[in-house]
Structure 1
């Protein structure tokens, strides 16, 4: 269950980065709405990870959480914000994914 919550927390963090990016480009009420979404997403994400680290090693949990955020944010940038795709970016994102899987495999 804790691994599920950790993955969920990382995915909610992606909502934070998406809302943050949208807020940075918006003005007026729309900026406020995206900003509220960003704050709500990061608050929920932090709440969940605070529950998870009671039973999982903090080093592993934090690495997985930030890894999900990093990989997901790069993919969101490519898919939604038309950021460039290159062999180097994809290669290093792949190594990050492999590292996250490795941490899961060696953690109790």
Structure 2
């Protein structure tokens, strides 16, 4: 996700999560410090840093579907066939190993 889009998503989430609860999160509270790299409010700045770390942790490399690992060969079929079930299981395993919950049946 592009940096500015990430920031827009962060600010929208801050407004959605905290405004109804305590009523103090609003656009001025999300004011950026000079240079616009950081927020003036230390709490919001800490949340922003944590949000970036959280989002970066979601980036994972998935198994290569073109790998021979996911090709099955049958005696009566010329060439190999892609084993989609085996590939999906490998993707789910990679996501689970990264601490990401995989919801079945979606």
Give the TM-score range, shorter chain. under 0.3
Q: Specify which structure has the higher proportion of strand.
A: 2
Q: TM-score, normalised by structure 2?
A: 0.27
Greater relative CO, 1 or 2 (CA 8 Å, sep 6+): 1
Considering only CA atoms, is the larger Rg found in Structure 1 or Structure 2? 2
